[in-house]
Structure 1
Amino acid sequence: MLHTSPNEARMRHVLLLATGGIAVYKAVEVMRGLQKAGTDVRVVMTADACNMVGTATFEALSGHPVATSLYDYPDSSIPHIDLSAWADVAVVVPATANCIAKMAQGLADDVVSTTLLACEKPIVIAASMNTRMWNNPATRANVATLVSRGVHFVYPVCGALACGDTGAGKLADVSTIVDATLCVLAQATTEVPLEGKTVVITAGPTHEALDPVRYISNASSGKMGYALARAARNAGARVVLISGPVTREIPWGVNVIPVTSAAQMYDVTMAEFSQADAAILTAAVADYTPAHPADHKLKKAFEKLNQIDLVQTKDILASVSKQAQGRVVIGFAAETNNLLEHARLKLKQKGCTMIVANDVSCPDSSFGSDTNRVALVTSNNVEQLPTMSKDEVATHIVDKLVQLMSKDDDAAHMVDTFVQLMSEATE
């Protein structure tokens, strides 16, 4: 049994296993990202990994000794057993073809492979290797085997490799690996009330074309929508994120459908909502679009834009709410004055379940800020949240979504019970 201090015992535990891929130096960055999220990280390294990155860095930053063999580990005489039991989740960075093959075949001939074989907790694999090794049928078969056993993969991306080749095999971005690990960790250590549910989320602005190079838009950054996608995913939902044009990193495990215009967002949202259990519509969709966009770049010398004729776009929130049939639909109201008055009016006009209202004229709640201060407005209640990070706001909104969906489930159950009782009474 590993000794842990009271502070460490209260933290969630991540076991980071490093193998001898050239990208092993990025394991340090992964560890730092996990620590910033409030986790306690211990490290296990193969001999090849130690040849590329020394143990001193990991020990200094983690505050724990690094296990490099099955012997002489100061915190345990059986490190592979105690470390695998200590972990809430294990993440392999990078996972070489050799490591993946050992896992698939159940081989255990060093401290990393032995610890993984003993581990009964969720495992995240961040694969990295040469393109030809990644594409080899043996590797593909090993990956498929591990996926079938419930191992979570952060697949390699295309890029320039250390050997000079270019193709699939490059280690995914550190932020993606951290995001995946934290998602699996959250689902392993907390309830997943949205498991089996599909949630549609819209995010970002829309671009309404004036011509092929100019458009009308707004300052939405997509931060809130992407935070909501991560929060709903962490709660176990299958998330479909319909995103306007933004430069945000795609959340791991989330199905992202990129769109550009309000018309495209309307069509995709209506189609996806037909198969969904709930919707959170946070996108700042343009209310108007040019009536006659040009098919060529307008030349200011002889095609002056003295006037732009506009037509209204389709109302996505109202249309989704109309089709909800008891499903929860959450909309957003970005206002600059009379916040609650406008939010209540929007709630009534659109017919949705809840409006998240935020005053975008405030510096701590504006488009592009890292924080938000919102009020959750329903037909019979207003809950004002303090200023907090958008990730924290997203968690609160998803918690509220779960509550609203539970009420709908209870109401539906009562109706079904009533119908059944009436049917039995008339038989």
Structure 2
Amino acid sequence: MSVSGKKILIAVSGGIAAYKIHFLIRDFVKKGADVQVIMTPDAEQFVTKLSLSTLSKKPVYSDFYGENGTWNSHVELALWADVMVVAPCTANTLSKMVHGMCDNLVIATYMSAKCPVLIAPAMDLDMYVHPSTKKNLELAESFGHTIIPAESGELASGLIGQGRMAEPSTIYNVVEKYFQEELHSNNFEGKTFLITAGPTYEAIDPVRFIGNHSSGKMGFSLAEEAAKRGAKVILISGPSAQTIIDPNVDVYRVTSAKEMLAKVFEFYDKIDIGIASAAVADYAPKEVAKEKIKKNDENLTIELVKNPDILKTMGEKKKHQFLVGFALETQNEEENAKGKLAKKNLDMIVLNSLRDEGAGFKNDTNKIKIFTKTEKVEFDLKSKDDVARDILNFVESQLLK
């Protein structure tokens, strides 16, 4: 598990949501994490040191000094941690954190921390939406901290709205995701990716074209994720509203399949990994009218010719490159994807089916299966950013073989 062996410092402040922290500690410990709990003096009104210590298997500290006069070093606690989780984080504790009001062990430890800090706010709904709270959360984010947003539901006051601390499972998943990303960070340093994205538009006349519904979201997510992991990325996109500002991504805009083919092979010999996620039009009009075609006849016949197969050409010219293709299918999905893997000389192929709700064009989510010549791996429906992480994790695993 990704949290196994990690040192997690949990800071508990004085809110009713503190009772949930027992479940979070239990889950971290069960998965092999080393957990240390500290708490504000007010937190002791809601949970006991004994219960938290029993679950974490460590003494719990709420003061600078122990009963026998020893110093509970906030410096050592801060330097020990791989990550610090403040949960629940009350409005009072949040304000002290961002304004440096260091009057307890939790704030002193926080101000000494060099590790990432994750904040799970919890308060009544009017407090949560108050301008001062919003400003303090913005300040915390500007410090580089991760905010785990409060959830909506019934609050201790009896009101219903946003302010509930995120569930322990949600906080756990955020921490686990952080360590997963840390595991894969910079693993593509020194590698160059070429990624195709979006649709192609094949002109009929100066006004009309043949195209498809691809938004380019999947390809752009892949480009951003590869860049985060240290890669140099060449992104060749058909018409798409998506944008990227990462300096490690060079974006080239094209319109037609022929333009995309030409641009791909400007760079192909120099790349390490190619990912063809573009939805390239299979056919284009044989002739393009120079003027707009007038609506004179009941029927219009357009003769289509086959476009160049960009992915097949990449496979034929492959030397050292690791090549990834995509297959969007509506029937015989797995059979067609495996056929494409073999025919186009790919190292792996990503299958998504239009039969799966939430997958395919324009959606912010996708559901995929990955095939190699010997493996098949299935994934649940996820955001396209998370799908990009899954795909690149798989690419990484293949390159390490």
Tell me what 1:324 maps to.
Answer: 318
Tell me what 1:341 maps to.
Answer: 335
After superposition, the C-alpha distances for 1:11-32 in whole angstroms (9 at most, x for unaligned) are xxxxxxxxxxxxxxxxxxxxxx
One-letter amino acid of the counterpart of residue 310, structure 1: L
1:234 to 228, 232, 235: 228
**SS of residue paired to 2:290:** coil
Q: Shift in Å at residue 227 of structure 1?
A: 1.7
Distance in 2, matches of 1:204 and 1:375, equals 20
After superposition, the C-alpha distances for 1:130-155 in whole angstroms (9 at most, x for unaligned) are xxxxxxxxxxxxxxxxxxxxxxxxxx
Distance in 2, matches of 1:40 and 1:294, equals 64
Query: Is the contact made by 1:41 and 1:62 (CA closer than 8 Å) also made in structure 2?
Result: no
Distance in 2, matches of 1:395 and 1:315, equals 27
Say yes or no: does 1:4 pair with 2:11: yes
One-letter amino acid of the counterpart of residue 73, structure 1: C
1:275 to 261, 270, 287: 270
After superposition, the C-alpha distances for 1:366-388 in whole angstroms (9 at most, x for unaligned) are 31222222111111222222222
Distance in 1, matches of 2:318 and 2:324, equals 11
Tell me what 1:293 maps to.
Answer: 288
Say yes or no: does 1:350 pair with 2:344: yes
> What CA RMSD, in Å, does the superposition of the two structures yield over aligned residues?
3.5
Say yes or no: does 1:65 pair with 2:96: yes
1:217 to 211, 215, 225: 211
Q: Shift in Å at residue 267 of structure 1?
A: 0.9
1:374 to 362, 368, 372: 368
- Note the residue ranges of structure 2 that are not aligned, 5 or more in a row: 1-8, 13-20, 34-82, 118-142, 145-177
Query: Is the contact made by 1:328 and 1:404 (CA closer than 8 Å) also made in structure 2?
Result: no
Against the structure 1 CA distance between its residues 376 and 185, is the aligned structure 2 distance closer, same or farther, given a 3 Å change threshold? closer
Distance in 1, matches of 2:339 and 2:200, equals 24
One-letter amino acid of the counterpart of residue 292, structure 2: K
Q: Shift in Å at residue 214 of structure 1?
A: 0.7
Higher helix share: 1
Distance in 2, matches of 1:232 and 1:62, equals 37
Distance in 1, matches of 2:268 and 2:179, equals 28
2:114 to 59, 71, 86: 86
May I ask how many residue pairs the two structures share in their alignment?
A: 269
Q: Shift in Å at residue 322 of structure 1?
A: 1.6
- Note the residue ranges of structure 1 that are not aligned, 5 or more in a row: 11-38, 43-57, 90-122, 125-183, 408-427
- Which structure 2 residues correspond to residues 259-270 of structure 1 after superposition, within 5 A? 259-270=254-265
Tell me what 1:312 maps to.
Answer: 306
Distance in 2, matches of 1:390 and 1:61, equals 37
Tell me what 1:249 maps to.
Answer: 243
2:400 to 390, 401, 406: 406
After superposition, the C-alpha distances for 1:340-381 in whole angstroms (9 at most, x for unaligned) are 110111111111111111112322223122222211111122
One-letter amino acid of the counterpart of residue 202, structure 1: T
Distance in 2, matches of 1:320 and 1:246, equals 23
TM normalised by structure 1 equals 0.55
Against the structure 1 CA distance between its residues 386 and 326, is the aligned structure 2 distance closer, same or farther, given a 3 Å change threshold? same
Q: Shift in Å at residue 406 of structure 1?
A: 2.5
